[in-house]
Amino acid sequence: MSEIGRFGVFLPSYIWEGDGPERARGIKHFAQTVEDLGFDSIFITDHLLAAKRFYSASFLEPLSALAVAAGVTSRVRLGTSILIMPLRNPVLLAKELATMQFLSENRMILGAGVGWNDAEYVAVGVQKNERGKRTDEMLDIMIPLLEGATVTYHGRYYSVVDVFVEPKASQRPEIWIGGGSQLADPKSPDLPKFAESVKARVLRTDGWIPRPTSWPRMFSVTRCRPGMPPGKSQWSGWLA
C-alpha cells in the first residue's frame, strides 16, 4: 500500500520575468494534481524580495497563492514553510489566516519563522535583531485571536486593545515553528546553532519544521506543551 498520504509537496511558486497566464494555470493544475495523487498537503515558501545571492527567481506572495490553491482543491492541507512573521502585522495576519481557515474548511497550517534576509527587514522598517522578539509577541496576540478570544496586549513592539477578528472557524489553524541549526558555512546568513528561543516557540505551538540539517535528535524535549500529560509530546513536521 502506498504511503503517499504521509507526505506533502511544495507548490512551485517561483516566477521568472516574462511568465504569464500559462504559469498561473500551471500552478492551479499542480495543486489539483497533488490532491488527485493522494498527497497530504501543499506547502509554500515566503520571500518578499528576490534574494539573488541564493535564488535565480522571485516568488509569489504565499497566502494569496495558497488561496488560489484552496479554490481548486477540497482535501489537501495548505501550509506555509515558512511565513516570515516579523515582516507582517499580527492582527492583519490573524485576519488573513482566519479567512483562509474558514474558506478552506479548516485546512490551513501556519508554518512560522523569523527569516534571514537583511533587505526584507529594511524594506518594511524592521530591525533584524528584533525578529525573534517580534515573532514571540505576534504569537502572543495571534494564538488567542485565532481561537476566538478578544485580545488586549501591550508589548514592546505591538499593542492592541479589545481586538477580535472574524470569521471564526471551528478550529484555529495549526501552527508549526520553523528553525534549527544551519550548516557551518561562511556563506550562510545564520549561525550553526539551534537557538533556545526557537525551541521555546516549538513547545508552545503544534509542531516543528526542521531545517534539513536539524535532525529530531537535536531537539531534547524536557517539557511538554500546556495541557499535555508528563512524558508525552506530539510533533508534526515538514522535512524539506
Query: Domain for residue 231, yes or no?
Result: no
Helix (H, G, I), strand (E, B) or coil at 235: coil
Model confidence pLDDT, tens digit, residues 182-231: 555 566 666 667 788 888 999 999 998 887 665 555 555 444 454 444 44
Note down pLDDT in tens along the chain; length 240 residues.
468 888 999 999 999 888 999 999 999 999 999 999 999 999 999 999 987 777 778 999 999 999 999 999 999 999 999 999 999 999 999 999 999 999 999 999 999 999 999 999 999 999 999 999 999 999 999 999 999 999 999 999 999 999 999 999 899 999 999 987 655 556 666 666 778 888 899 999 999 888 766 555 555 544 445 444 444 444 444 443
Query: Domain for residue 154, yes or no?
Result: yes
Q: What is the CATH number of the domain that holds 25?
A: 3.20.20.30
What does the block give as the cell for 215? 535532525
Cα–Cα distance measured from residue 91 to residue 193, given in angstroms and rounded to the nearest whole number: 31
Q: At what angle do helices 131-146 and 196-204 cross, to 10 degrees?
A: 0
| Cβ atoms within 10 Å, residue 112 | 25
Q: Are the C-beta atoms of residues 153 and 159 closer than 8 Å to each other?
A: yes
E strand spans, the chain? 8-10, 14-15, 41-44, 58-59, 77-80, 83-84, 108-113, 151-154, 159-163, 174-179, 207-210
pLDDT of residue 192: 66
Whole-model pTM: value is: 0.86
The count of domains in the chain is 1
3-state SS track over 99-125: HHHHHCCCCEEEEEECCCCHHHHHHHC
Q: What is the DSSP string of 60-78?
A: --HHHHHHHHHHT-SSSEE
pLDDT of residue 87: 98
Domain range for 53 is 4-218
Query: Domain for residue 233, yes or no?
Result: no
Query: Domain for residue 95, yes or no?
Result: yes
Q: Are the C-beta atoms of residues 126 and 87 closer than 8 Å to each other?
A: yes
Estimate the share of the chain in helix, then strand, then coil, as percent rounded to the nearest 5.
35, 20, 45
Query: Domain for residue 230, yes or no?
Result: no
Query: Domain for residue 174, yes or no?
Result: yes
Cα–Cα distance measured from residue 44 to residue 61, given in angstroms and rounded to the nearest whole number: 9
DSSP 131: H
Query: Domain for residue 235, yes or no?
Result: no
Query: Domain for residue 87, yes or no?
Result: yes
